[in-house]
């Protein structure tokens, strides 16, 4: 149960490895002057002499948008394979569940290798989400003339609605397919991880490492039961313990949080607006081309000039290639007005908060009714409830 709970929280449970090396604690409240006529906000607090817990201005009137998309989940894992269709070779690169950004570089490296095996010089990429952008950029960097063909571009693609955290095994396959996918998953994960390290520290911070706090009223391993309407997913994290710092259980009572059990984790975060823009600009600057084009039937691909295509249509592959193995797993996030001073993530059993530069991203966790649900209508009330929970948490931060 604990294992499934961990996997569900795409975006924040993150790095549950060891509890070694607890830091000594000193709580140091930081005073802040508040004018008389403004609402009193909780003050910044220190956690164990580590990060400053700047208060989140959590109020529903600060929600800038509520976004829904469907994770393209396949029980067997992503489809990365070449198929001959008429005069074309189509290399499929879709179906990455809740891990598309995390695995993008690794998966696209495999797809490009298959495309290059055809001996083709020109390569067409169908789709301009996380997988299309990384496939196209890798192909361009390898010297191929590349055109992206896509119905929609960022910011209008599903990838822009992701949480933006390193979650390489979130809803990536079901438990039955775990061992068959293991070796390929590890290769993709290590390739992606290495590529993301090369994107640290560049303008706009497309990629950052951040700390976060996982809060609980119950001791580790004794959390509330989770909803049971999703399958048991494959879990691979134990096979790459060297990629992410281990999480640390902080001593009870040593933090400003009202919950007694607090675990600090460290994870990579993707500032998706900047990341997508960086990938797109790099592709265009390297001479890549983009054409807006919608395909309603695979036969239409025969009219493209390139003989080798990489198919990165994500959830769109279900309709275009009539792939019924793709199951939509609905996900909803809300963004609050950015607060650059908030540099930490938070998660509880009910919600997560990610401190992205394009807005504090709030996600409801452990809700039901998402599996095999293609309804992308936003349910604002759910996001407002999560924001109110964060507001309540902020008012209960302890002073000392």
Ligand X SMILES: Cc1cc2nc3c(=O)[nH]c(=O)nc-3n(C[C@H](O)[C@H](O)[C@H](O)COP(=O)(O)OP(=O)(O)OC[C@H]3O[C@@H](n4cnc5c(N)ncnc54)[C@H](O)[C@@H]3O)c2cc1C
- Residues in touch with ligand X (CB under 6 A): 10-11, 69, 71-72, 94, 96-102, 126-132, 150-152, 157-159, 162-165, 167, 294-295, 312-316, 320, 331, 333
Of 220, 230, 213, 298, whose CA–CA distance to 264 is shortest? 213
Which CB sits closer to ligand X, 343 or 376?
Answer: 376
Q: How far is the CB of 49 from ligand X (least distance, A)?
A: 29
Which CB sits closer to ligand X, 100 or 359?
Answer: 100
Which CB sits closer to ligand X, 115 or 312?
Answer: 312
Q: How far is the CB of 78 from ligand X (least distance, A)?
A: 9
Q: How far is the CB of 397 from ligand X (least distance, A)?
A: 26
Which CB sits closer to ligand X, 97 or 359?
Answer: 97
Which CB sits closer to ligand X, 256 or 314?
Answer: 314
Which CB sits closer to ligand X, 8 or 71?
Answer: 71
Q: How far is the CB of 146 from ligand X (least distance, A)?
A: 15
Q: How far is the CB of 361 from ligand X (least distance, A)?
A: 9
Which CB sits closer to ligand X, 47 or 181?
Answer: 181
Q: How far is the CB of 89 from ligand X (least distance, A)?
A: 18
Q: How far is the CB of 392 from ligand X (least distance, A)?
A: 23
């Amino acid at each position: 149960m604990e294992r499934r709970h961990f996997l569900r929280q795409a975006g924040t449970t993150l790095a549950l490895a060891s509890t070694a090396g607890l830091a000594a604690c000193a709580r140091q409240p930081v005073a802040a002057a508040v004018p008389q006529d403004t609402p009193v906000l909780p003050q910044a607090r220190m956690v164990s002499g580590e990060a400053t817990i700047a208060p989140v201005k959590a109020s529903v009137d600060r929600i800038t948008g509520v976004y829904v998309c469907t994770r393209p989940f396949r029980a067997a894992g992503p489809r990365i394979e070449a198929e001959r269709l008429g005069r074309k070779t189509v290399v499929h690169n879709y179906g990455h569940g809740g891990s598309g950004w995390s695995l993008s570089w690794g998966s696209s490296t495999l797809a490009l290798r298959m495309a290059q095996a055809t001996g083709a010089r020109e390569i067409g990429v169908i789709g301009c989400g996380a997988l299309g952008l990384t496939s196209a950029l890798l192909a361009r960097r390898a010297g191929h003339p590349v055109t992206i063909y896509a119905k929609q571009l960022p910011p209008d693609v599903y990838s822009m609605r992701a949480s933006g955290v390193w979650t390489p095994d979130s809803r990536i396959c079901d438990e039955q397919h775990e061992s068959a996918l293991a070796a390929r998953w590890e290769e993709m994960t290590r390739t992606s991880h290495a590529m993301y390290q090369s994107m640290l520290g560049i303008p706009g911070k497309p990629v950052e490492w951040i700390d976060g706090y996982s809060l609980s009223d119950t001791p580790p391993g004794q959390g509330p039961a989770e909803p049971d309407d999703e399958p048991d997913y494959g879990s691979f994290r134990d096979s790459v313990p060297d990629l992410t710092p281990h999480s640390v259980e902080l001593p009870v009572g040593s933090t400003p949080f009202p919950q007694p059990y607090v675990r600090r984790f460290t994870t990579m975060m993707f500032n998706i607006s900047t990341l997508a823009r960086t990938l797109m600009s790099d592709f265009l600057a390297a001479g890549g081309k983009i054409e807006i084009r919608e395909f309603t039937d695979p036969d239409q691909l025969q009219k493209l000039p390139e003989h080798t295509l990489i198919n990165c249509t994500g959830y769109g592959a279900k309709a275009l290639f009539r792939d019924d193995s793709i199951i939509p797993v609905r996900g909803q996030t809300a963004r609050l007005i950015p607060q650059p001073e908030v540099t930490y993530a938070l998660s509880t059993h009910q919600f997560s908060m990610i401190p992205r530069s394009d807005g504090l991203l709030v996600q409801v966790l452990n809700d039901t009714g998402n599996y095999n649900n293609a309804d992308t209508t936003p349910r604002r009330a759910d996001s407002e409830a999560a924001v109110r929970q964060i507001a309540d948490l902020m008012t209960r931060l302890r002073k000392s």
